[in-house]
Structure 1
Amino acid sequence: MHALNKNRPLRRIMLASAATVSGMVMLLALKPHTTPTVISDSAAPAPSAGASDSPGASSGSGKSGSSSSGTRTVTGDTVQTRWGPVQVKVTIKSGKITDVTAVQYPTENPRDQQINSYAIPQLRRETLTAQSAQIDTVSGATYTSTGYKQSLQSALDSAGR
Structure 2
Amino acid sequence: MRRAVIALVITAAGLVPLLRYHPNTTTTAIRATAGTAQTPSASSKAPSTSGTRTVTGSEVDTEFGPYQVQVTFNGSTITDVQIVEAPSDRRSQRIAESAAPTLRQEALRAQSAKIDTVSGATITSEAYAQSMQAAIDAS
**Hey, what does 2:14 align to over in structure 1?**
25
Matches within 5 A, 1:74-93: 74-93=55-74
One-letter amino acid of the counterpart of residue 134, structure 1: K
Task: Give the whole-Å Cα distance in 2 for the aligned partners of 1:110 and 1:142.
Answer: 17
1:60 paired to 2:36: yes
User: In the TM superposition, what whole-angstrom CA distance separates every residue of 1:32-82 from its partner, at most 9, and x where no partner exists?
Assistant: xxxxxxxxxxxxxxxxxxxxx9x8x89933221227952221111111011
Cross-structure match for 2:135: 155
Q: State the match for 1:105 in structure 2.
A: 86
Given the superposition, is the C-alpha separation of residues 102 and 59 from structure 1 closer, same or farther in structure 2, using an over 3 Å criterion? farther
Paired with 2:61 and 2:112, the residues of 1 have a C-alpha distance of 21
Listed as ranges, the gaps of 5+ residues in structure 1 are: 1-17, 32-52
Q: CA RMSD in A?
A: 3.4
Aligned to 1:35: none
CA contact 1:63–1:77 (8 Å) conserved in 2:
no
Q: Percent identity?
A: 47
Correspondence for 2:99? 119
Instruction: Using structure 1 for the length normalisation, give the TM-score.
Output: 0.60
Tell me the number of residue pairs that the alignment of Structure 1 and Structure 2 aligns. Answer: 120
Give the greater-gyration-radius structure (CA): 1
Structure 2 unaligned residues grouped into runs of 5+: 1-6, 21-25
Deviations 1:103-151 (A, max 9, x none): 1112x22212221221122111111111110101111111111111000
TM-score, normalised by the number of residues in structure 2: 0.68
Is 2:62 aligned against 1:73? Answer: no
